[in-house]
Amino acid sequence: MKIVVLTKAAVPLSSAIRIDPKTGTLIREGVPLTVNIWDRDAVEFALRLKDRYGGEVIALSMAPPSGIPALESLIGMGVDRAILASDRAFAGADTWATAHVLAKTIEKYIPDYDLVVAGEETIDSTTAHIGAQTASWLGVPYIYYVYDAEVKGRTLVVRRFLEDEGVDEVYEVDMPAVISVLKGSQIPREVRLSRKLNAREYIQVVSNKELGLDPECVGLRGSPTLVAGMAPATYPPRKKVVIQGEPSEVVKKLVEILKSEGVV
Amino acid sequence: MPCRLWPPINKEDYRGVWVYLEREGDRLKDVGLELLGKARDLAQKLGGVEVAGVLVAGGEDLAREAIYHGADKVVIIDNPDLKIYTPAEYAEAIARVVQKYRPEIFLIGATKRGRELAAYIANTLATGITADCTALEIDPKTRDLLQIRPTFGGTQLATIRTPQRRPQMASVRPGVFPKPPRDPSRTGEIIVEKVEITKRRTRLVSIEKRLEKDIADLPPVESSDIVVAGGRGLGTAEGFKLLVELAKLLNGTVGASLMAVRAGWVPHTRQIGQTGKTIRPKLYIAVGISGAIQHLMGITEAKMIIAINPDPHAPIMENADYAVVGDYKQIIPMLIEELKRLKNQS
Ligand SMILES: Cc1cc2nc3c(=O)[nH]c(=O)nc-3n(C[C@H](O)[C@H](O)[C@H](O)COP(=O)(O)OP(=O)(O)OC[C@H]3O[C@@H](n4cnc5c(N)ncnc54)[C@H](O)[C@@H]3O)c2cc1C
Ligand SMILES: Nc1ncnc2c1ncn2[C@@H]1O[C@H](COP(=O)(O)O)[C@@H](O)[C@H]1O
């Protein structure tokens, strides 16, 4: 099985997000990009399929060169090789333009893929668009929120969970296909330092010189959506009454408040 | 010259505000009705254009329900192959109908299935889409939809446009807009469209309700008037038992911050915030939650917020109506005792 895993080198959850007050853009300096946490579920899922059925797992990412360490850590997890689609022309892409580059990279460099595995969403964009858009670009079926799968000939039998309806569903999907992996559903394996040491050798960087995409259809210019404004989020005013003192006094006041609000 | 894969179109050819009406079995999900309410508001700002809903394989009773909630028209996609939901096939069929009627705006509820469908539909229509909008406005000059969504971890609100393409697409989480009142005197048009799909490549094999053991069978956070939420400051899963007890006494439910979910104390269906649920309870009690901006985003529409935290400078204290400075381990058990005493009196 040839499996492509889409992974984003994202701003990690733990880092304090800082905004340039002048431009309203994210300050990336000094913020090391790491693999989007939910993509580690996707990588683990792909590696488990490979453990069972054999084949190859290829990580694919569109990112600036600062995304390389993230891919190195995936090689350390056991991914066979990685492709980084990286070009100044790709900067500022919306999800349409990002999926465009990812799909064209797959078609050119991994045309014989059986399965594309994405994470459920990214921690810094949280759109969950890219999986479906990549499927649309590739013209293949797709399914989200998968936590288990089995190969039966040319179909993949997947189990998935819909959190908001509380249901488990089993689907058969014809391959090639795109799936996204339910976040938190896998226990990602450790990064092995021995593999990570020469990881760079397994990472291929491709630019738009190789991909040859119309520069009008990638990056900021190739994005049908446009960020027209950015403003700090503001919240409605609150009363801000401070209550402190002996716990028994505090509780008395709390009960009064609950009573006057008709809660008790 | 813009990208030739999505060349500019004649925007005059596109009119009306459309909404995807998601079904759950034999009923409509609330989010579709909520969006009809918002669609009416947008349609009025666009000079009184039509509001319509798209329903896949649903009965006329459901279409009428949508009309009672604000639709002028409902298109039912009638294809026996589409009785059962599968993403690729549904997305293709919906895109076909939208392509035929050419609305200027198409809104989708960001349920799990909605999020799965939305971006594929947008790609099929070669248009842009913005996920999880929290506000939608109209720029009267250009008729552009201003798609407002939190970004950069919720610290900023981005305003996004799709200036050159139609329809303009946006998804919106359930509960963000209020559900309009049901008015059974409203009338509208119901159209049945036979839509073919190219090829079936996904098949449902089975579906079953998961009997997940959620904490103490409490109602979901999005449908409770009173939510008692806990964060990392609770320190242990035991701490949550106190919150469950308090929530039950108040006839409410229990919610959590991301950190409490990651600690494994609560299932992530109860997470409040940017990557969790947006809620609008009458009362929100935040216990051991610092009030990171991503968390606050989920509770901006709470009528009242009470925070309990020993740190008077925690951001939640600045964003509360009542900021209780103290240790929950002392306050909550005493509060529970007091409430029990009151209950026994009455
Ligand atoms: C893109 C992105 C999305 C995110 N989405 C969400 C989201 O949807 N929801 C969410 O919640 N977070 C989200 N986060 C995480 C968020 O930034 C915070 O990390 C998180 O909300 C903090 O959780 P907490 O308040 O429980 O923990 P902490 O920040 O560690 O706060 C614990 C609090 O408990 C208090 N405390 C300690 N002891 C006691 C005691 N005995 N009694 C009472 N109080 C006590 C402390 O003073 C402190 O204020 C997101 C982050 C990012 C970057
Ligand atoms: N720049 C990127 N490069 C590679 N994969 C990506 C990129 N952005 C998003 N993805 C994939 O798409 C999934 C959904 O991302 P998003 O639509 O940003 O929430 C992620 O979990 C990744 O698997």
Q: What is the pLDDT of residue A108?
A: 98
Nearest CB to B283; choose among A126, A177, A261: A261
Q: Is A118 in the pocket of ligand 2 (CB under 6 A)?
A: yes
Q: How many domains does chain A have?
A: 1
Interface check A192 vs B, CB under 8 A: no
Alpha-carbon distance A139 to nearest alpha carbon in chain B (angstroms): 10
Please tell me which residue, A124 or A64, carries the higher pLDDT value: A64
d(CA A118, CA A133): 11
Cross-chain Cβ contact B321/A240 below 8 Å: yes
* Domains annotated on chain B, with CATH: 11-194 (3.40.50.620), 212-340 (3.40.50.1220)
Tokens of A38: 């939910």
| Nearest protein CA to atom 1 of ligand 2, as residue | A62
Q: A264 burial class (0-12, 13-18, 19+ CB within 10 angstroms)? A: middle
Cross-chain Cβ contact B130/A231 below 8 Å: no
**Which of B229, B346, B217 minimizes the C-alpha distance to B276?**
B229
Q: Which residues contact A210 (CB under 8 A, 6 or more apart)?
A: A108
β-partners of residue A116 are A4, A178
Selected residue of B27, B115, B290 to mutate for chain A interface (largest A Cβ count, 10 A): B115
Q: Is residue A251 one of the residues assigned to a domain?
A: no
| Nearest protein CA to atom 21 of ligand 2, as residue | A119
Span B99-138, pLDDT tens digits: 999 999 999 999 999 999 999 999 999 999 999 999 999 9
Span B44-86, pLDDT tens digits: 999 999 999 999 999 999 999 999 999 999 999 999 999 999 9
Q: Is residue A30 one of the residues assigned to a domain?
A: yes
Chain B partners of A17 at a C-beta cutoff of 8 Å? Answer: 152-153, 155
In DSSP notation, A15-36 reads SPP-B-TTT--B--TT---EE-
What residues make up the domain containing A13?
2-217
Q: What is the pLDDT of residue A16?
A: 62
Cross-chain Cβ contact B118/A24 below 8 Å: no
Instruction: Report the CATH number that the domain containing residue A148 is assigned in CATH.
Output: 3.40.50.620
Q: What angle do CA A225, B30, B151 make, to 5 degrees?
A: 30
To which residue do tokens 């014809």 refer? Answer: A174
3-state secondary structure of B283: strand
Looking at all shown ligands, the one closest to residue A67's CA atom is 2
d(CA B178, CA B247): 25
- Helix crossing, A68-77 with A37-53: angle to 10°? 40
According to the 3-state scheme, what is the secondary structure of B134-201?
CEEEEECCCCEEEEEEEECCCCEEEEEECCCCCCEEEEECCCCCCCCCCCCCCCCEEEEEECCCCCCC
Q: Is A126 in the pocket of ligand 2 (CB under 6 A)?
A: yes
B246 sits in which H/E element: helix B237-249
| Nearest protein CA to atom 7 of ligand 1, as residue | B273
Pocket test for ligand 2, best of A3, A36, A68, A142 (most atoms within 8 A of CB): A36
| Nearest protein CA to atom 8 of ligand 2, as residue | A8
Residue B126 CA to its chain's centroid (Å) = 24
Residue B334 CA to its chain's centroid (Å) = 36
Q: Is residue A238 one of the residues assigned to a domain?
A: no
pLDDT greater than 60 at residue A24: no
Interface check A139 vs B, CB under 8 A: no
Residue A225 CA to its chain's centroid (Å) = 20
d(CA A263, CA A261): 5
Strands B51-56 and B135-139: unpaired
| The CA-based dihedral angle spanning residues A244, A249, A251, A253, taken in that order and rounded to the nearest 10 degrees | -80
Interface check B214 vs A, CB under 8 A: no
Q: What spatial distance separates the first Cα and last Cα of chain A, rounded to whole Å?
A: 61
Interface check B213 vs A, CB under 8 A: no
To which residue do tokens 């701490």 refer? Answer: B239
Cα(B317) to centroid(ligand 1), Å: 13
* Tally of helices (H runs) and strands (E runs) in chain A: 7, 13
Tokens of A74: 């995936």
Long-range Cβ pairs for the range B38-46 (8 Å, 24+): B38/B107, B38/B136, B38/B172, B38/B177, B39/B70, B39/B105, B39/B107, B40/B70, B40/B180, B42/B17, B42/B105, B42/B136, B42/B138, B42/B145, B43/B16, B43/B17, B45/B137, B45/B138, B45/B140, B46/B17, B46/B104, B46/B138, B46/B143
Cα(A78) to centroid(ligand 2), Å: 20
| Nearest protein CA to atom 31 of ligand 1, as residue | B290
Cross-chain Cβ contact A166/B209 below 8 Å: yes
Chain B partners of A164 at a C-beta cutoff of 8 Å? Answer: 111-112, 174, 269
Closest CA in chain B for residue A240? B321
Chain A partners of B156 at a C-beta cutoff of 8 Å? Answer: 19, 24, 230-233
Please tell me which residue, B234 or B277, carries the higher pLDDT value: B234
To which residue do tokens 């919306």 refer? Answer: A94
Q: What is the mean pLDDT of chain A?
A: 92
Confidence band, pLDDT 50/70/90 cuts, at residue A124 = confident
Report ipTM (2 d.p.): 0.87
Interface check A162 vs B, CB under 8 A: yes
d(CA B299, CA B222): 11
Q: Is residue A12 one of the residues assigned to a domain?
A: yes
Q: Which residues contact B226 (CB under 8 A, 6 or more apart)?
A: A263, B247, B250, B251, B252, B253, B281, B282, B283, B285
Closest CA in chain B for residue A15? B153
Residue A53 CA to its chain's centroid (Å) = 25
Cross-chain Cβ contact A239/B321 below 8 Å: yes
Please report the beta strands in B57-118, taking only residues with DSSP state E, as ranges in sequence order: 73-78, 105-109
Q: Is B308 in the pocket of ligand 1 (CB under 6 A)?
A: yes
Mean pLDDT over residues B240-265, rounded?
94
Q: B256 burial class (0-12, 13-18, 19+ CB within 10 angstroms)? A: buried
Neighbouring C-beta atoms of residue A172, cutoff 10 Å: 18
Q: Which stretch of A173-187, B134-148, B274-288, B313-327 has the lowest confidence by average pLDDT?
A: B274-288
Q: Which stretch of A177-191, A248-262, B142-156, B193-207 has the lowest confidence by average pLDDT?
A: B142-156
Cross-chain Cβ contact A170/B146 below 8 Å: no
Type of residue numbered B44: Q
Please tell me which residue, A29 or B145, carries the higher pLDDT value: B145
Q: How many CB pairs under 8 A join A and B?
A: 255
Mean pLDDT over residues B156-166, rounded?
93
Q: Is residue A247 one of the residues assigned to a domain?
A: no
Q: What spatial distance separates the first Cα and last Cα of chain B, rounded to whole Å?
A: 74
d(CA B221, CA A160): 23
Span A171-226, pLDDT tens digits: 999 999 999 999 989 999 999 988 888 999 999 999 999 999 999 999 999 999 99
d(CA A97, CA A213): 11
Closest CA in chain A for residue B206? A170
β-partners of residue B150 are B157
Please report the beta strands in B283-333, taking only residues with DSSP state E, as ranges in sequence order: 283-287, 304-309, 322-325
Mean pLDDT over residues B173-185, rounded?
92
Interface check A164 vs B, CB under 8 A: yes
Closest CA in chain B for residue A100? B123
d(CA A29, CA A97): 24
Tokens of A34: 């790491």
Q: Is A86 in the pocket of ligand 2 (CB under 6 A)?
A: no
Nearest CB to B152; choose among A19, A94, A168: A19
Q: What is the pLDDT of residue A137?
A: 98
Neighbouring C-beta atoms of residue B258, cutoff 10 Å: 21
| Residue B19 Cα distances to A149, A252, B64, B196, angstroms | 33, 49, 14, 21
pTM for the structure as a whole: 0.87
Span A129-163, pLDDT tens digits: 999 999 999 999 999 999 999 999 999 999 999 98
Interface check B274 vs A, CB under 8 A: yes
Sheet holding B283-287, edge to edge: A241-243, B322-325, B304-309, B283-287, B226-230, B253-256
pLDDT greater than 90 at residue B7: no
To which residue do tokens 């921690």 refer? Answer: A123
Chain B partners of A244 at a C-beta cutoff of 8 Å? Answer: 312, 324-326
Type of residue numbered A105: T
Alpha-carbon distance A81 to nearest alpha carbon in chain B (angstroms): 28
Q: Which residues contact B27 (CB under 8 A, 6 or more apart)?
A: B62
Chain A partners of B157 at a C-beta cutoff of 8 Å? Answer: 230-233
Alpha-carbon distance A22 to nearest alpha carbon in chain B (angstroms): 13
Mean pLDDT over residues B21-32, rounded?
95
pLDDT greater than 90 at residue A18: no
Q: Are A45 and A181 in contact (CB under 8 A)?
A: yes
pLDDT greater than 90 at residue A62: yes
